[in-house]
Amino acid sequence: MLLRERLWRRSIGLTRGTKLPKMQASFGNSGTWTIQADQVDTDLNRMPAMNRENVMKLVKRHVATCPWYGYTQGHLYIIYAIGLVLHDECSMYWAYTRIIRSQYRFGPSTPVGVHVVPDWVYNEVADRIEIGRDMWDVLIRFRWLFIMFGQTCSTPEILCAIWDFNLQHPNNMFYTCAALLRHGLEQEVPQVPEKCALERASDLISIQIQTTAEAASILARANIISNEVEVSRHPDSVPHGRRRVRYRRSLGGNAG
């Protein structure tokens, strides 16, 4: 087993010997699956490189066994990333189920409401690009957090590197967002005439990580931010980046 796979399994909380949950054969003919299957099929047309049969099989079992966290547009980015490292059906299912359970709070049907993203993530950019804090919260959640940066990384290796960091601790996604925003501000080129605030925000949130060197720089900055935040909260404690805290602790429940 490769090191990355071992680390991901540990962080997500996958254990050997856990079986796939049973699914009723009749579910494939249900109205619930018909609606979900249409959405998956539409999304797969935008990502033709993915194995249609395997994705449909995975999502069908997930929808059948976890109806409270059904398939939502954007989930393919998470399935794609998982498939880069985990390859057997059982591991794929449990990883997808656990991650979706956690990421649900960032999506369009979140029960949490607004202000899901901590203010410190976007304080600096919100002062310079004034579109309202609620709007920054929505942009960050939908573009980055809900799909775990699936549209931000230009290569599979960069995406895996971002996930390596984010799976280590549930707060690391917030640190990555803050690092991306600061990086984007530094890369912003002044326009004449100047773009409106919403256009600037859209450009910033659509930033692409193009090289491994750029990814390394952003992750290094995310680590620095994590230490700054932890020290500001607990001046006498050791920043969490110097301890091992598993991502799965934030997920709850028993999964494979």
Angle between helical axes of 31-46 and 52-65 (0-180°, round to 10): 140
Q: For residue range 166-186, what is the model confidence (pLDDT) as tens digits?
A: 999 999 999 999 999 999 999
Residue in the block written with tokens 């109806």:
67
List of long-range contacts for 50-57, beta carbons under 8 Å, 24+ apart: 50/76, 50/79, 50/80, 50/83, 54/89, 55/79, 57/89
Q: In the chain, where are the structural domains located?
A: 3-250
- Is the peptide bond prior to 156 cis by the omega test (within 30 degrees of 0)? no
Reduced to 3 states, what is the DSSP secondary structure of residue 95?
A: helix
Distance set, CA 83 to CA 51, 122, 150, 159 (Å): 10, 31, 13, 12
Task: Give the per-residue pLDDT at 9.
Answer: 96
Q: What is the pLDDT of residues 67-92, one digit of tens each?
A: 888 899 899 999 999 999 999 999 99
Report CA Rg, the chain.
Answer: 19
251 neighbors 69 (Cβ within 8 angstroms): no
Inter-helix orientation angle 212-233/172-187, to 10°? 120
What is the value of pTM for the model shown?
Answer: 0.88
pLDDT at 139: 95
Within a 13 Å sphere around the CA of 157, how many CA atoms are in the beta-carbon half?
Answer: 7
Q: What is the pLDDT of residue 67?
A: 80
Q: In the chain, which residues have pLDDT < 70?
A: 1, 110-113, 192, 234-256
